[in-house]
Amino acid sequence: MDCTVVHRVSRDDDYESELTASREEIAAVLSGVADGILTGSIRFGDGADAVAVDVPDELSLEIELETEDDELALELELEWPTSAGEFAPSPMEALPDEADALPASVGAADASRSLARFELFRDRNEEWRWRLRHRNGNVIANSGEGYTRKHNAWKGLRSVMRNAPEAEVTEDTTD
């Protein structure tokens, strides 16, 4: 499935993004929002158009499920009090633009906590791969293999995300 992304930033610094994509791609964006909530700052986009907002320790979540015109809509709305100047363009560096990277970049804005992002892409052989890219542009990990199905690449990526914090570190002592 091709994805469609529409971003708008208004004169009032409001940021709006609309994404039409697969379940996996939407889940990746929502995971980015969750990461930002956990770290206390959410970044929307990359480069000069990036916007970051601080998230307080306590906020309100409204979940609404409704049917309208033969469509089912799930709306998630987070709210919290704001102070002047809290919502501003982010000073983060732009990442290199590469075809087939994740469709919408949303994640933790705190650079000390979020130094990298996962990207899903197609290689020259039309196989799906993932990579972990540091914010300085360097690739620090990759799938090591291509997948014929995008779904399997997502499974591999999620497996690394889930299992890496618990991974054992070993040292090769042979010289």
pLDDT tens-digit series, residues 105-143: 666 565 455 567 788 888 888 898 888 887 667 788 899
Q: Which of 170, 151, 152, 154 is nearest to 162 (CA)?
A: 154
pLDDT value, residue 41 = 81
Structure tokens at 68: 């309208």
Across 37-41, 78-82, 157-161, least confident range = 37-41
Is 74 within a domain? no
Provide the pLDDT for residue 131: 87
Domain that holds residue 157: 4-54+91-166
Within-domain flag for 67? no
Q: How confident is the model at residue 85 (pLDDT cuts 50, 70, 90)?
A: very low
In a domain, 71, yes or no: no
Q: What are phi and psi of 84, to 5 degrees?
A: -60, 135
- Comparing 60-64, 69-73, 144-148, 169-173, the range with the smallest average pLDDT is 169-173
Q: Would residue 174 count as lying in a domain?
A: no
CA distance 51 to 84: 15
Question: pTM score, two decimals?
Answer: 0.52
Q: Is there a domain that residue 73 lies in?
A: no
Residue 151 lies in a domain: yes
Please give the pLDDT value at position 72. 94
Report if residue 83 sits inside a domain: no
> How far is it, in rounded angstroms, from Cα 118 to Cα 50?
17
Query: Among the listed ranges 29-38, 40-49, 118-127, 128-137, which one has the minimum average pLDDT value?
Result: 40-49
- Would you state the pLDDT for residue 160? 86
In a domain, 114, yes or no: yes
- Evaluate if residue 53 carries a pLDDT over 60: yes
Return the closest-CA partner of residue 148 out of 172, 128, 166, 162: 128
Report which residue type is found at 10.
S
Please, which contacts does 44-47 make with residues 24 or more away whose CB atoms are closer than 8 Å?
44/15, 44/17, 44/105, 44/106, 45/7, 45/15, 45/17, 45/90, 45/104, 45/105, 45/106, 46/92, 46/94, 46/95, 46/105, 47/92, 47/93, 47/94, 47/95
Number of domain units in the chain = 1
